[in-house]
Amino acid sequence: DLVVLPITIRNNDQNEKEIKLHSSADLMSDGFLHAARWFRDAENIWNIYRTEKNKNYSVENYLNWQNKLTEQNFDAPYLVLYNSSGVNASSTIIEREKLDIRFIVDHKTYTFFTNDLKEAFYLTGIFNSSIPNKMMKDFQSRGLWGTRDVHKKILDIYFPKFDETNELHLTLAELSKTAHEKAEKYTIENSPQNELSATRLGRYRLEIKKHLHKEMTEIDVLVRKVIV
């Protein structure tokens, strides 16, 4: 599903893309009449039901909680994403040039913006490896069904910053790229027939991991060397 946000994206004086947040009044002044009406209704509903704790926040400022919307980097061509919730991290790469629409990172997702595609593949190789995911289990939160919530716990596992002169890093990045390409081909040829619920999505991920068993085994060997 697509989401419409009360924002515009323009270049600033440094020729960097900048996100500007708008109220319904701003949108009306700029001639976005239908959007202005919709967000005015949203503002009215927010003003009625917002809690005492949030009484000083407008709806657009609440959308931009801690500036996590407006501070997203639209100039970086590559985004490394991984999940906040779940037993293990699942990481992927967004390449902006391959999308017809603006991509904005939502909540429950951690992201790293980079100009280096090899660095992006290096990081996803580490995050998707079983090595750091097993190592963080001792300090993950636990529920009735065991460990849960990745959050920043996987970042507590030390791994070095990507070094383009390091052959081990480059080999890991290349193998991660191969796994991405193989996974993409699999998803195209085995596209889900029904909407992916949380349960179906989990099963689908397991299918993809099984399909990538050879590559992931080799990635684990490299990641162990990188981390240790």
Looking at the chain, the number of H-run helices and the number of E-run strands are 8, 7
**Domain assignment of residue 2, yes or no:** no
- Which residue type, as a one-letter code, is found at position 141? S
For the chain, how many structural domains are there in total?
Answer: 2
**Gap between the Cα atoms of 212 and 173, Å rounded:** 15
Q: Are residues 62 and 97 in the same domain?
A: no
* Beta bridge mates, 112: 80
Is 154 found in the same domain as 111?
Answer: yes
Task: State the alpha helices, DSSP H only, in the chain.
Answer: 24-29, 33-49, 59-63, 117-128, 130-135, 167-189, 198-211, 213-227
Residue 192 lies in a domain: yes
Domain assignment of residue 185, yes or no:
yes
89 shares a domain with 53: no
The CA-atom distances, in angstroms, between 61 and each of 70, 117, 146 are: 10, 33, 36
Q: Rounded to the nearest 10 degrees, how much is the dihedral formed by the CA atoms of 181, 98, 154, 122? A: 50
Q: Is 178 in the same domain as 207?
A: yes
pLDDT at 167: 98
**Residue 160 DSSP label:** P
Among 94, 102, 96, 105, residue whose Cα is nearest residue 68: 105
- Residue 145: per-residue pLDDT: 59
27 lies in the same domain as 116: no
Please indicate, yes or no, whether the overall pTM of this predicted structure exceeds 0.85. yes
Q: Which two tokens stand for residue 15?
A: 């020729």
In this structure, the answer to whether residues 16 and 104 fall within a common structural domain is no
Q: What is the mean pLDDT for each group of 10 consecutive residues in the chain (228 residues)?
A: 88 94 95 96 96 93 93 97 90 96 91 98 98 87 68 90 98 98 96 83 90 98 94
Q: Do 91 and 168 lie in a common domain? A: yes
Residues 84-95: pLDDT tens digits?
888 889 999 999
Co-location of 103 and 37 in the same domain: no
Q: Is residue 220 part of a domain?
A: yes
The whole-number pLDDT of residue 79 equals: 99
Instruction: Answer yes or no: is 18 within a domain.
Output: yes
Q: How far apart are CA 201 and CA 207, in angstroms?
A: 10
| Residue at 209: amino acid letter | K
Is residue 158 assigned to a domain?
yes
Contacts 24+ apart (CB under 8 A), 198-205: 205/90
| d(C-alpha 177, C-alpha 125), whole Å | 8
- Domain-located, residue 72: no
Verify that 32 and 60 share a domain, yes or no: yes
pLDDT in tens, 132-171: 999 988 886 666 656 667 888 899 999 999 999 999 999 9
Q: Would you state the pLDDT for residue 198?
A: 79
Phi, psi torsion values for 148, nearest 5 degrees: -155, 165
Distance CA 12, CA 9 (A): 9
Burial 6-17 (b: 16+ CB within 10 A, else e): bbeeeeeeeeee
Choose one of 36, 67, 98: the last residue of a domain.
67
Are 93 and 205 part of one and the same domain? yes
Specify the 3-state DSSP secondary structure of 167.
Answer: helix
Domain residue limits at 44 = 7-67
Q: Is residue 13 part of a domain?
A: yes
Q: Are residues 47 and 83 located together in one domain of the fold?
A: no
- Contact criterion met (CB below 8 Å) for 110 and 127: no
- The dihedral of CA 20, 22, 26, 30: what is its sign? positive
Of 45, 67, 89, the position where a domain reaches its end is 67
Statement to judge: residues 133 and 219 lie in one domain = yes
What pLDDT is recorded for position 144? 62
